[in-house]
Structure 1
Amino acid sequence: MLPGGSRRPGRRTPAVPVESSAVTQPSTERGQGAAADVDLPTQYRPADVEGRLYERWVSAGLFTADPARAPQRPAFSIVIPPPNVTGSLHMGHALDHSIQDTLVRRRRMQGHETAWVPGMDHAGIATQNVVERELAKEGVSRHDLGRADFLERVWQWKAESGGRILGQMRRLGDSVDWTREAFTMDDDRARAVRTIFKRLFDDGLIYRAERIINWCPRCLTALSDIEVEHDEVDGELVSLRYGAGDDEIVVATTRAETMLGDTAVAVHPEDARYAHMVGREIELPLTGRRIPVVADEHVDPSFGTGAVKVTPAHDPNDFEIGRRHALPSLSVMDERGIVTAPGPFEGLDRFEARPAVVAALREQGRIVKEVRPYKHSVGHCQRCSTVVEPRVSLQWFVKVESLARAAGDAVRDGRVKIHPPEMAARYFEWVDNMHDWCISRQLWWGHRIPVWYGPDGEVVCPAPGEEPPAGWTQDTDVLDTWFSSALWPFSTLGWPDETPELKRFYPTSVLVTGYDILFFWVARMMMFGLYAMDGVQPFDTIALHGMVRDQFGKKMSKSFGNVVDPLDWIERYGADATRFTLLRGANPGGDVPVAEEWAQGSRNFCNKLWNATRFALINGAHVRGEMPAEVSTVDAWILSRLQAVVSEVDAHLESYDFAKACEALYHFAWDEVCDWYVELAKVQLADDRAEATRRVLGEVLDNLLRLLHPVVPFVTEELWTSLTGEETVVTAPWPAADTGRADGGAEQLVGSLQRMVTEVRRFRADQGLKPGQRVAARIEWNGSALHRHEDGIRALLRLTEPGDAFSSTASLPVEDLKVYLDTAGVIDVAAERKRLEKDLAAARKEVDQARRKLGNEAFMAKAPEAVVAKNRDRLGQAEAGIARLEAQLAALPAG
């Protein structure tokens, strides 16, 4: 159950005295502060705590990594996936950062030297668009300013308005090392970019060529695959007749305007329908040109007519066909999507040209089938939503074959592990089929390509710090944003210099990121890390999480109206509640549903911890001195359960299963500690076992708060320091399971007590008794070990001693004993009998229906096994219900 669900009946139980059980393993002595003197407010208010605690942590240097400190300690490092400088915290960021912070805080408590490196990406297209929009308000363009002045304005914007997300990371509680904050365009990263570009260039892995790329007619730049979003759109499919008579071939297209640039028609080599036409030429309508028919295995003979038009300059598949058959690439549109082919369509926008071309073809009788609706996937620019145009262009590329092979091998040979493991197949699908990477962008904001051209076409790529020849011209393009962020795991640690940080913290321990950028960013980091660091991988583990969705599993979108702002939740419910809600849904690799009621439930969970700890402090709970040698069975039970939970949480966190870890912590904290142990401890705090129980209560809360700290850091810091008198839980030791405290006997006895209390409370509720209503009762113990706790059990269940006039009107067998109740005068017998008889009639009807269905041979022969099993289950439940209702009726007083 996610936080916010209704509490089940019978979960809370008042205190019950229980006998003693020996515990001989003492705990290490810690804080000596007088915790009972600390005055916690009656309510937990996150706004009063979070900002104050975070600034205290940062100013104390608790998050700062020192590569020279304690070299014998293991190192643990993470580089944060750098958010865009234009961005603000969204739910995806909040999930990603909460996972990373949980890992880092736990390792810090386990004694690792932790380095969590923060920073931002310069976000070439997004940032340039933002600044250009600002300039447009002033009535000027970047071209009016010129490149140098425009870049000065971008840096000014970055200083004044960029990077808001860094402050929002503080609000979430990110325990990053702020002294290592990096930016993909700061001086150190710029030198790293120049260094690796030069190395790749000299090794022949960077080249310039005309290739077909994704082009945005609005941003006027090439785009990487990650910058193109494919959406299903309603288009139109039109079938066209090329040639005539025996030379006639029919093709279909959704982009009729591109036929102006066709340079061939392709068919499959084994398609007998067109065998006679391969090698011949046919007329291309509207143009007067004749184009060849070529045979290519790319063509699917079973799709449509089995023939496709080939436009090498405007389609990536056609481009490859053109290269295989030495076809010309005829571009018929300019960089803004305006038709440039001479003739009646010249000057039309591509979307204006489309119906005009169709109309002209119709006039010539070339339309075989009228235009019909057709839904298909169309690429859009991620930044401006303009339909992307495939376009042949002169660009810079990275030759990826050897780099991608190395990236695949690092996972195959186990140097890098992917969690969950089933995601590895998707990774291999990408790296094993990777195309050369277009790295040039027609922008001004970004790392300018470090290549200069001489007067006679010479090309030079100087090393960092070297000056190009005088009078030579630098390339005007900039590098793809992903080029610089691919260096992130090692450039942030000082590469290309051999720094102490690089030696201590590389390779980084784990990369936490969404599966949606596994292909685009993770693979690029793998390629560049292995290349630059002599075969050493950039991270040991890739931990993938899913996307945050709404409670119905729907993708969050402004158009759907279901976007949730994590800052809004932090404001209303606190950072801890926001983090806990996200982490409790974070199954490895799976998408994460969230709902506001779950955030409310997480806030209630934090309040529950607050109230329980406050109660403990008021009653003198502490962690001073060693654990008592003798403790009650209730104390032994909770200590035994604590050890089991420590082991369980450790196992889940090691396997990156944050949902299960949070689930275990939630139920232990709420159900076992707060709902049972705190209530059971109340009686012990009033007798001669009080001091031992105070120490045990302190021990349990101490360990519980430390276990919870990586997930909910703020509330646990406030409570743990109040309980222990220590400075901070941030660097407190992570709890270790103590198998010597496992006590099966105590767990068995308290389990029996819990079942008895729950069953009697349920029985009282079924009989219509109010929770606080006192009822006379006689208990037959029948040798049960619970008989020594009669006074406490009576207090728990509001059962008074039987008097002389006691007359049993109801009885309940439970846990080898029997409870007799005198409900005369307490309940309306007639009304209760009427209610039970009505429920009994309904249950009998259910049994009759289920039996008839299961006795029907035709049904049993045809129904799926799952349906049969469901009906059998219904029958069993109904029969059990009849037995329960008949027992309740029999227990009612006569009359």
Structure 2
Amino acid sequence: MSELPKTFDPAEIEQRWYAHWEANGLFRPDRPGAEPWTIVNPPPNVTGSLHIGHALDNTLQDILARHARLKGKDALWVVGTDHAGIATQMVVERQMGLHQQKRTDFTREQFVEKVWAWKAESGGEITQQLRRLGCSMDWKNERFTMDEGFSKAVLKVFVDLYNEGLLYRDKRLVNWDPGLGTAISDLEVETREIAGKFWHLRYPLADGSGFISVATTRPETMLADMAVAVNPADERYQALIGKQVRLPITGRLIPIVADEHADPELGSGAVKITPGHDFNDFEVGRRAGIEARDMLNMLDAKAQVTQTADGLIPADLLGLDRFEARQRIVKLLEEDGVLERVEDRTIQTPYGDRSGVVIEPWLTDQWYVDAATLAKPAIEAVRSGKIKIVPKTWEKTFFNWMENIQPWCVSRQLWWGHRIPAWFGTVRETDRGNGQPGPIFVAETEEQAREKMRAFYGAEYDQLTFFDSSQDALMWADQAGNDPFYPRFVYRDSDVLDTWFSSALWPFATLGWPDAPSPFIPSEVEGQAANAALGVSTSLDTNGEGAALQKAPFVLSEVEGHATNAPPGARASTALSTSGEGGASRPQLHGRYPNDVLISGFDILFFWDARMMMQGLHFMKDVPFRTLYLHGLVRAADGQKMSKSKGNVVNPLGLIDTYGADALRFFMAAMESQGRDIKMDEKRVEGYRNFATKLWNAARFCQANGITASTTLEAPRADLAVNKWIIAETIQTVQAVDLALADYRFDGAANAIYQFAWSRFCDWYIELIKPLLGQMDAPATGPDADETRAVAGWVLDQILVLLHPFMPFITEELWSKTGARASELIVAKWPMADARSIDPEASKEIDWLIRLVSQIRTARTELNVPPGARLLLFASVAGAPTRNRLERNIGVLSRVARIEDISFSPVPSGGAMQIVVDEDTFFFPLEGVIDLDAERARLTKGIAAAEKERDALAGRLGNASFVERAKPEAVEKARADHAEKTAEAERLAAALARLG
């Protein structure tokens, strides 16, 4: 046992212990025969760096993972990163820009190779930062959503869904980012309020009988209007339904249709309908019988005006940026006399969160998943309790979204990502020009696609020419014209899959699905070749990217020295789970699926969590996780959402540098209350650093007084009341922590161990046992001292184990320094909550003693009794049980309450301090100790001042004008000050009453 330094240095401890844990494989699941327990981390973007939300999310996961290990389970925390298609491509293109290079200066293969090179060199920053936080992840099996094994799962899922009719190609509106040139998800759209305008226009009726008024915030879209909608119940327009209006500028005739989307109470009650550029209008257009292929699209991929199918847009508008076109069109409308008026208005405007460009609803061909069909089993899983959502209040939101879910657009116009495994065949000459699509061949590999082509084309297969993009293929097709002898062309879809599509497979594709062996349980596979189960290879050619994807140096260290092919016996079961007669799930993938729990921010409930449910239930026939825990956001101290633009972002690494990882982790846990966001409070983090220091000093006290590691998991035998009491307190704390963690009450668990360690053990127990231990230069001996040292050592051990999931570094260090151990703390045993060791009578006596000492200390402080003054305690009215307690504890009272002696005689006359504990009143004569008259005067004056301020604040708060007009923070401060002054007046009045 080495001596603990006087100073607690988190930085040195954290670096040393994390390196030890990882180097010795202590995060690896390696407990044959133990109950498997599995959690997967939400894979952070490979481009990312640790932010405060990551710190919260991963702290909660680590608490559960470390707790599961301590409970004897074979805990696996799957770690990995997401390839982050848009973000990663932007990073690499930005780097290329520093060298005056553009993506289009290279072939697709060359660019993808550059991305792999960047990932190998710079793509692991966040994983190193997770280590600094103390995350006990299985780094030996780190996954990446573009590694070969995972890519195989992604391609299989795409192909299977397509073959089942659950994935299809369709023309619909998407969120289009003109800056990035790709469709994006709703999560990547940021809505901002901007100052805009509302243009009111007159559309003349085609028969010359008048006009109908409409209004718009985007007047440029009138070039692609296809209808005007009025509410069928609006009597003003009944006679106009079915008539036509002539659009200004283009002169195109469009119908007036009836649709409930038009609100008679808004504006004129008539709405212009542009189905190719507005999500609501798209649905109105479809209800009006307009097919998506016939909807007009007036913008190209860069949001510049392009000619529509009718060819009526004036030439001088073509090629203009949408906002330049807006100015020009407004001028033309004004010149035509159809611009009625313009209003200033605040507009909710969508922006791309990465590009900063205004998002355009754009009509384009994309790949979609039939989310409505896949959502049904997920809805039932939550409704039936197979998936438990915590807190339960999120269920209503979940059901509302899932029951109204829209098709999921899964294609992105990028080069980096899982390329869609679809090949488009030739449009036969007889169908050219009439809009008929060519055949689509969907397959996991190009060779499988070619087999489908051979079957489709027969002898004509030899005439096919293969291209890598539609642009190249169409160029050759234009040259071919209708020449029946010209070779037909086939091209690969150039789009990639949305990263949410691949991450939706995370709970099972990371475990080796569909056919790779599981790497997580060596005892269940043949030999060490199980490490090859990652399916990782230096060749990633299975997705058709060719040699460009062979550059994956990041995987070399993960598979170096291991067999590249696992034996047949190592293959994981891919049999689909079914519910047994009792409704229980049958574990798959060596018991790792379903995962036990998923920790997630509520903001990705639909983008990730729900989609994992859909894919897991569809492909594994079972839920992906049994419990979904949704935590809140970490907000700034004033409650505002953190953002770089506001300058209120908190860097968790800076907090770790200042206070240590343990303090930050404990803050996150203690503040994580179900259903509530966390307000960042650096003072609280500092306070938990002080908590760590207090525990450190308590361990040093124990070490200096001969208290060492316990040799048993059970509580030692105890006869002294103080030892029986602390054993009972320990057991009750174990019970409280167990119950809190079982209910995912992280704050409850953290606060239970905090209060016990700080107040019960460090403050009271150590203080109470000091007389039993003697002095360091003359340590006490005998049965009482031996018993106390044994109990104190056992209690400290229980504290270290209970606290380890929350504060792993300091607890592991203290565990190693306070005695000989059979193992590191990370793999020790969780305490037993054995209620048989609780002695109620001993607990009552020590609780009484603590209340008595606390009351004495409080009264002394309130009445300005000098700290060194020793008082007489008179208990003349106390009963026999109280007298016995006082006599048994005179030594403690003398030491911790500065009591000179105890008397059961009547109280002498004169001023005396009074306190009441339970049914007993105790008196402490103060004649000659303090100036009683001066003290009464001081207290009376203080009471009057506090009451005056209290009443003034009450008057202000009672003024409705102040409460309604003042800033919220001013009102809140007034309420806090009022509560403070009220409490002060009550405290001083109680102190005055103590003088009798």
Q: What TM-score comes out, normalization by structure 1 length?
A: 0.88
What's 1:158 paired with?
119
Q: Deviations over 1:372-421 (max 9, x none)?
A: 2x223222112222111000011111122211112212211221111111
* Distance verdict in 2 for CA 1:422–1:280, change over 3 Å: same
> How far 1:852 sits from its partner (Å)?
13
What's 1:719 paired with?
814
* Distance verdict in 2 for CA 1:583–1:879, change over 3 Å: closer
What's 1:314 paired with?
277
> How far 1:335 sits from its partner (Å)?
1.0
The answer to whether the 8 Å contact 2:245/2:256 transfers is yes
Q: Is 1:702 matched up with 2:702?
A: no
What's 2:690 paired with?
604
d(CA) in 2 for partners of 1:811, 1:248: 92
> How far 1:247 sits from its partner (Å)?
4.1
Q: Is 1:58 matched up with 2:7?
A: no
Q: Deviations over 1:844-866 (max 9, x none)?
A: 8799999999xxxxxxxxxxxxx
d(CA) in 1 for partners of 2:985, 2:185: 64
What's 1:388 paired with?
359
Q: Is 1:339 matched up with 2:305?
A: yes
Q: Is 1:587 matched up with 2:673?
A: yes
d(CA) in 1 for partners of 2:346, 2:320: 25
Q: Is 1:250 matched up with 2:213?
A: yes
The answer to whether the 8 Å contact 2:144/2:150 transfers is yes
d(CA) in 2 for partners of 1:823, 1:698: 41
Q: Which amino acid aligns with 1:836?
A: L
1:473 to 487, 491, 512: 491
1:685 to 773, 778, 786: 773
* Distance verdict in 2 for CA 1:173–1:841, change over 3 Å: closer
Aligned partner of residue 342 in structure 2, secondary structure: strand
1:734 to 827, 830, 835: 830
Tell me the percent identity.
45
* Distance verdict in 2 for CA 1:550–1:879, change over 3 Å: closer
> How far 1:837 sits from its partner (Å)?
2.7
The answer to whether the 8 Å contact 2:912/2:927 transfers is no
1:503 to 570, 578, 590: 590
The answer to whether the 8 Å contact 1:212/1:313 transfers is yes
Q: Is 1:360 matched up with 2:323?
A: no
* Distance verdict in 2 for CA 1:840–1:446, change over 3 Å: closer
> How far 1:875 sits from its partner (Å)?
13
Q: Deviations over 1:71-93 (max 9, x none)?
A: 3x221101111000000011111
Question: Mean alpha-carbon deviation: is it higher for 872-881 or for 695-704?
Answer: 872-881
* Distance verdict in 2 for CA 1:850–1:195, change over 3 Å: closer
Aligned partner of residue 719 in structure 2, secondary structure: strand
> How far 1:632 sits from its partner (Å)?
1.3
> How far 1:38 sits from its partner (Å)?
2.4
What's 2:386 paired with?
415
d(CA) in 2 for partners of 1:802, 1:403: 77
Question: Mean alpha-carbon deviation: is it higher for 188-197 or for 222-231?
Answer: 222-231
* Distance verdict in 2 for CA 1:354–1:849, change over 3 Å: closer
What's 2:639 paired with?
553
The answer to whether the 8 Å contact 1:844/1:882 transfers is no
Q: Which has the higher contact order (CA 8 A, sep 6+)?
A: 1
Q: Structure 2 matches for 1:13-412, cutoff 5 A? A: 37-66=1-30, 69-71=31-33, 73-243=34-204, 246-327=209-290, 328-341=294-307, 342-343=313-314, 344-372=316-344, 374-412=345-383
* Distance verdict in 2 for CA 1:466–1:41, change over 3 Å: same
Q: Structure 2 matches for 1:771-850, cutoff 5 A? A: 772-780=867-875, 782=878, 783=880, 784=882, 785-800=885-900, 809-815=911-917, 819-821=922-924, 823-824=926-927, 826-829=929-932, 831-842=934-945
> How far 1:323 sits from its partner (Å)?
1.7
The answer to whether the 8 Å contact 2:29/2:74 transfers is yes
* Distance verdict in 2 for CA 1:593–1:879, change over 3 Å: closer
d(CA) in 2 for partners of 1:811, 1:578: 44
d(CA) in 2 for partners of 1:84, 1:744: 54
What's 2:703 paired with?
617
Unaligned ranges ≥5, structure 2: 308-312, 428-437, 451-463, 467-489, 521-588, 775-779, 957-975
Q: Is 1:538 matched up with 2:624?
A: yes
The answer to whether the 8 Å contact 1:207/1:396 transfers is yes
* Distance verdict in 2 for CA 1:464–1:538, change over 3 Å: farther
Q: What RMSD in Å do the two structures reach over aligned CA positions?
A: 2.8
Unaligned ranges ≥5, structure 1: 1-36, 854-869
Aligned partner of residue 291 in structure 1, secondary structure: strand
What's 1:449 paired with?
420
d(CA) in 1 for partners of 2:391, 2:843: 34
Question: Mean alpha-carbon deviation: is it higher for 750-759 or for 566-575?
Answer: 750-759
Aligned partner of residue 505 in structure 1, secondary structure: coil
What's 1:635 paired with?
723
What's 2:969 paired with?
none
The answer to whether the 8 Å contact 1:195/1:464 transfers is no
The answer to whether the 8 Å contact 1:840/1:886 transfers is no
Aligned partner of residue 174 in structure 2, secondary structure: strand
* Distance verdict in 2 for CA 1:642–1:801, change over 3 Å: closer
Aligned partner of residue 504 in structure 1, secondary structure: coil
The answer to whether the 8 Å contact 1:840/1:885 transfers is no
> How far 1:197 sits from its partner (Å)?
1.2
* Number of residue pairs aligned between Structure 1 and Structure 2: 831
Q: Deviations over 1:507-560 (max 9, x none)?
A: 111111100000111111111111111x21111111110111122221111122
Aligned partner of residue 812 in structure 1, secondary structure: strand
The answer to whether the 8 Å contact 1:448/1:476 transfers is yes
> How far 1:254 sits from its partner (Å)?
1.1
2:993 to 878, 887, 892: 887
* Distance verdict in 2 for CA 1:875–1:104, change over 3 Å: closer
> How far 1:313 sits from its partner (Å)?
0.9
Aligned partner of residue 563 in structure 1, secondary structure: coil
d(CA) in 2 for partners of 1:480, 1:628: 59
d(CA) in 2 for partners of 1:787, 1:677: 19
The answer to whether the 8 Å contact 2:936/2:992 transfers is no
d(CA) in 2 for partners of 1:124, 1:189: 15
1:566 to 649, 652, 670: 652
d(CA) in 2 for partners of 1:586, 1:799: 43
> How far 1:161 sits from its partner (Å)?
0.8
d(CA) in 2 for partners of 1:390, 1:850: 54
Aligned partner of residue 446 in structure 1, secondary structure: coil
Q: Is 1:436 matched up with 2:532?
A: no
d(CA) in 2 for partners of 1:270, 1:107: 62
d(CA) in 1 for partners of 2:118, 2:954: 75
* Distance verdict in 2 for CA 1:802–1:81, change over 3 Å: closer
d(CA) in 1 for partners of 2:954, 2:380: 60
1:513 to 583, 586, 600: 600
Q: Deviations over 1:96-138 (max 9, x none)?
A: 1001111111111111111111000000000001111111111
Aligned partner of residue 473 in structure 1, secondary structure: strand
> How far 1:305 sits from its partner (Å)?
2.2
Q: Which amino acid aligns with 2:411?
A: S
Question: Mean alpha-carbon deviation: is it higher for 691-700 or for 547-556?
Answer: 547-556
d(CA) in 1 for partners of 2:49, 2:981: 55
Aligned partner of residue 634 in structure 1, secondary structure: helix
Aligned partner of residue 577 in structure 1, secondary structure: helix
Aligned partner of residue 829 in structure 2, secondary structure: coil
The answer to whether the 8 Å contact 2:947/2:981 transfers is no
1:461 to 438, 442, 457: 442
Aligned partner of residue 230 in structure 1, secondary structure: strand
